[in-house]
Amino acid sequence: MTQQGRDRKQRLVKKLWHEDTKTELHLSVYTGVLAIQKEYVMAFQLLKPFLDQVLQGYIAYGEYLQSKLPLESMTLQCLYAVDPIARGH
């Protein structure tokens, strides 16, 4: 490396690590955020199996209700048409 290259390298290192307080601030913020993000990811990984079970239960319950409720009943469809709120009056 030439002398000019070494001088440039020293200036950059000095500016980045010794003179610029923003660099230290950014590194501190990134370090703090990384720890928080790691905790969040680990908590979500613990909750994922539980959330999958809740979703499966919700889907099963919805299928059960669809099979048991008389949604195809002509009487219910006619009563729905009589309701003034449903008709928009």
Using a 10 angstrom Cβ sphere, with 0-12 exposed, 13-18 middle and 19 or more buried, the burial of residue 2 is exposed
Instruction: Give 50's Cβ-side CA count (13 Å radius).
Output: 5
Instruction: Give 26 or 50, the one with higher predicted confidence.
Output: 50
The pair of three-digit structure tokens given for residue 32, joined into one six-digit string: 């703090």
pLDDT in tens, 36-85: 888 888 888 888 888 899 999 999 999 998 888 887 888 877 777 776 67
How far apart are the C-alpha atoms of 18 and 85, rounded to whole Å? 72
Contact between 63 and 69 under an 8 Å Cβ cutoff? The reply is no
pLDDT of residue 19: 56
pTM for the predicted model, two decimal places = 0.40
pLDDT of residue 20: 62
